Chains A and B, each alone.
Chain A
Amino acid sequence: MLADVPAAGAARAAAADPAQSPAAPVLAVAGLARAVPLPAGGARSLFSGVDLAVRAGEVVAITGESGVGKSTLLNIIAGLDEADTGSVTIAGQQITRLPEAQRAALRCAHVGFVFQAFHVLPHLDLARNVALPLLLGGAREADALARAGAMLAAVGLGDRAGDWPAHLSGGELQRVAIARALVGRPALLLADEPTGNLDPETAGRILSLLLAQARDNGAAVLIVTHSERVAAAADRALSLTAAGLAPSHHG
């Protein structure tokens, strides 16, 4: 339940302007704009003037109407999509300027992902699913599996490391996804509707787990959500509109 969500603490007080913050933000977005082409020709502006800074340990939620471009914004931040203008800096590196291979390397080193649809590989056991990002980052197999086991234990699945995804419930699958997202101790955790496929009770537990684990790992968290409860649990809640980000009533 949302009552279980840990208090945001000092991070809640973080300012919207990264330049005024004593510590450099993990994620800095400046002047981001994106338009989508129209079938009849021309383009429609999806959003523009998006500025954002998220510091270590801070949880920021982005809400907005369907089609406003929340997921697109998240994908641009992760280097999976392109902005028309503006820049995204993660852990001091401007990802929008990097070629594809270096973006992939940056994601591997500093970014964790949690998706609405879990996306757990069905033909790898849980330990290997969680260990996969470590392996892709160059870790040795034994180390990767050991750290994956510890991470699974941290999300409450310590005794299921050798189990197959087909045997898990939705909530358990999302725990695996959280473990996979955090196993590499990323500086930034991106979550796209992380509780969208879960019932309210399970959603509450998963959200608590996600935020607790992220804070334990000192990660900055950016969550895209429709859920008011999720937004309320964040340190800051911002609403995305065509004109950019504005504090939402949850903030």
Chain B
Amino acid sequence: MASFNPVATRWLLAGEWRAGPARLAIAVLAIAVGVALGFAVHLVNTAALDSFGRAIASVSGRADLAVRGRTPAGFDELLYPRIARLPGVAGASPVVELAASWGQLARPGSKARGGRLALIGVDPLRAMGVTPGLVGIASAGQSGVGSRPGWRADAVFLSPALARAAGVAPGDGFTITAAGQQSRLHVAGLLRGAGDDAQLAVIDIAEAQARFGQLGRLQRLDLRLAEGADVAAAQRAIAAALPADALLSAPEAEASRADALSRAYRVNLGMLALVALLTGGFLVWSAQALSVARRRPQFALLAVLGLPRQGLVVQLLVEALLLGVLGAALGLALGHVLATLVVDHFGGDLGGGYFSATHARLAFPPLVALFFGGLGLLTALAGSIVPALAAARQAPALALKGLGEVPDPARPPRAWPGLALLGAGVLAALGPPIAGLPLLGYAAMALLLAGGVALMPALARGLIRPLLGVRAVPVDLALRRLWGSPQAASLALSGIVASTALMVAMAVMVASFRQSVDDWLVAVLPADLYLHLEAAEAGGLQPADQARLAAVPGIAAIRFQRVQPVRLDPARPALALMAQEGAAAVPVLSRAAGAPPAGAAPVIVSEAMAWLYGWKVGDVRELVIGGQPRRLFVAGVWRDYARQWGAVIMPMADYRRFTGDASATEAAIELAAGADAAAVQSALMAALPAAVHGQAQFGRPSDMRRVALQIFDRSFAVTYALEAIAILIGLAGVATSFSAQVLARLKEFGMLRHVGLARGQVLAMLAAEGAGLGLVGALTGVALGLAMALVLVKVVNPQSFHWTMDLALPWPLLGALVAALVLCAGGTALIAGRRALGRGAVLAVRADW
């Protein structure tokens, strides 16, 4: 006889579906949500990363190698002939690359039109052989960079996306601001090879140098290597020829930088989705274990009728497989819909702010769908295997007599497996990041969750023990049952404990993060008004402009700041060098005890800098500033939530001494007593050079804090949604578990009615039992959640984003959650009890199953 009979399996499954469609639906939904979240997060991130990568590839023109300036100031153009003559280099194309803007940059809420773009200056003849994608083809009737015969000095070629955004076509005029200069250009054609989302404009290199103050400077040198050249040797030769203010960058480094930018954020969301799937697994386990417990006599009958043990296991696993297939299919469909909604609503980075300029396109990759669908199947199978094996182990003869499943209160539940898992979780939390990611941190969370659930029976017993002996008979009966059969309690609650723990962990992490960000904003925004120049890395406010601004009436003090991106590692995004006048207005976490050694400029570095590059308080390090390596003394470490890739604050005087650059990109303004902020802002705007009006943004600390927290809340919108879904599924799981358990106990209720308990007392007993279970589940879930939150706050976040935060506990939310769970569990038990007793529990004493 075969151990698997498809027709019998179909019959029994159909019967199970008729018996408890809600139970099966909850299990399917639990799987579906985990799969949907994982798949959606992956789809959105892939789409965003692809489009971001395409944009980067468009700007870099797909050269074999590139020499880049460490800062936007670039390097001397004389480097170009030296590199071009090196062995192995077949072609070199000099490039001016400037962060630029067009139109009036929009502030949140304003209707002004404008945007950022990359302005590229190339020599078309050189570029043709190295980066042909950067050479524009003039449209009919136009002439320009790509068509020497009809040369026009102000010709500009726009990427299709930029032309669309700016609403211009070949033949139109187009004004670009870069490096503090504004220039009116003539659109000669489009860059057909540019990526869909690239915001890119290409002009002649000589024009770029002349019009935007870059004479004698280059930001980039695109290189093509000779066919068959020894790449490593060529790279070594080029690197040896580079001055301090330039570095060599390979295409992989470009891709890796694009990836690094959002990797931690993406991995975090992906991991959260997996934790949600794990929660789904607990729900499936809980549902299947209850179902198996309820069907023990049925399985025993099947064994008597001739179904071997392995046949029973196969039967249950087929059932789980079907649940998994349904859940995975539903999850994949939901995930695609969710991803579409999220991309339309929040953009490609789920509101994280990493790919603001790009427009993501969604695909439906079959292999990825298979992967996430497979995870769903595995979860369903993993959740069912233990109950299936338990069902196969039971003695059929005893089960048919209704024996062999009676809980033995004299035997205390085992605590060591749970404690071992918790211990392993603590050990994992202490581990280092793997490949720059907090994988051990997430393993710790999963282990803590599993340990907590495994410890539930022992915990339930411990929590109930002090309450035994209550005088009210129904409550005493309820508590004694919970104390006597804690395994049943743990079974009903594992799903809700897992989802509560997940929600508490996320809520505590988000609350801690939000509170820390808010405190940080207050600390870094002490002035009354702030001025910021967008896309001004290569230019900014000159000393004369600064003097004009300082002389505006109503200003008590104005402190200028120069922010400049500096590249230390070609594979990582640039760090921010911030030269500030006066004392740094930042929250400093630790300071060096001594004074800086002679010849070293004091700097304060962000936590990310300390984490990524190992700069510690008291260290003396070198950084190329103004084309020369400079000795810097790390005088302190500050908390920075704005620049994940590192920031170095140095005194403005040192910066000017190193670079000779006296410009500024930002200003913090303190108003004189009684001065009107709006009037001062207007006066400051009037005092600014007309060329930078489009780039100037003013902000007041209160508005900036509000906007920052809005962005923060938006970026966590997805996690809030995830929490809500997890808790809803958990509650639905509790409802179905209670219903199943109450129905399975009809005979017990009938017996209680026979020995003299009134119907109301039985209901009171059930409500007390439900509330007790809810309390045990909520307290366990909150405790586990707090432990997981600690891992998120102290391990996962620092390892992912290189910043720390202070723990903040949202007590009202936690209290409300516990109360809601207790009420829901008690209410569900009551409703299930009313339904069950309505069917005649008294008769059930002699009924069949």
Question: Using a CB–CB distance below 8 Å, which chain A residues touch chain B?
Answer: 71, 75, 78, 80-81, 100-101, 104-109, 113, 115, 117-124, 128, 132-133, 135-138, 141, 144, 165, 173, 180, 197
Contacts and interface: CB of A to CB of B under 8 A. Distances in A.
Contacts of A118: 848
Contact of A113 (B3, B12, B305, B846): B305
B303 interface: yes
B290 to A, nearest CB: 16
Nearest to B17: A123
Contacts of A106: 306
B15 A135 contact: no
Given A119-B400, A122-B848, A165-B848, 15 more contacts: A80-B395, A80-B396, A80-B397, A100-B309, A101-B308, A101-B310, A104-B307, A105-B306, A107-B306, A108-B1, A108-B305, A118-B848, A121-B301, A135-B8, A144-B7
A124 B15 contact: yes
B307 A136 contact: yes
Nearest to A113: B304
A100 B1 contact: no
A135 to B, nearest CB: 4
Contact of B308 (A105, A109, A165): A105
30 contacts: A75-B397, A80-B303, A80-B396, A101-B308, A101-B309, A104-B303, A104-B306, A107-B304, A107-B306, A108-B1, A108-B306, A109-B1, A109-B306, A117-B400, A117-B848, A119-B849, A120-B848, A121-B301, A123-B15, A123-B16, A124-B11, A135-B7, A135-B11, A136-B5, A136-B302, A136-B306, A137-B1, A138-B1, A165-B848, A180-B305
B12 to A, nearest CB: 8
Interface string B111-129: 0000000000000000000
A101 B14 CA distance: 26
Interface of chain B, helix or strand or loop or mixed? helix
A100 B396 contact: no
B1 A105 contact: yes
- Which 3 pairs between the two chains have the least Cβ-Cβ distance? A108-B306, A123-B15, A104-B308
Interface residues of B, number: 35
Interface of B: 1-3, 5, 7-8, 11-12, 14-16, 18-19, 297-298, 301-311, 395-397, 400-402, 846, 848-849
A71 B308 contact: no
B16 A135 contact: no
A102 B662 CA distance: 92
A132 B311 contact: no
Contacts of B400: 115, 117, 119
A55 to B, nearest CB: 23
A197 B847 CA distance: 10
Contacts of B304: 78, 80, 107, 113
B848 A104 contact: no
Which applies to chain A's interface (DSSP): helix, strand, loop or mixed?
Answer: helix
A107 B305 contact: yes
A122 B15 CA distance: 8
Contacts of A135: 5, 7-8, 11
Nearest to A180: B305
B297 A119 contact: yes
A75 B848 CA distance: 21
Contacts of A119: 297, 301, 400, 848-849
Q: Which of A71, A121, A173 has the most CB of B within 10 A?
A: A121
Nearest to A81: B397
A175 B666 CA distance: 92
A136 B305 contact: yes
A70 to B, nearest CB: 12
A124 B16 CA distance: 9
Contacts of A80: 303-304, 395-397
Contacts of B848: 117-120, 122, 165, 173
B301 A136 contact: no
A123 B19 CA distance: 6
A100 B303 CA distance: 10
A123 B309 CA distance: 22
A108 B3 CA distance: 12
A144 B846 CA distance: 32
Contacts of A141: 7
A96 to B, nearest CB: 15
Contacts of A75: 397
Contact of A123 (B18, B301, B311, B401): B18
Contacts of A138: 1-2, 5
A14 B203 CA distance: 113
A129 to B, nearest CB: 9
A121 B397 CA distance: 16
B248 to A, nearest CB: 68
A102 B205 CA distance: 86
Contacts of B18: 123
Nearest to B2: A138
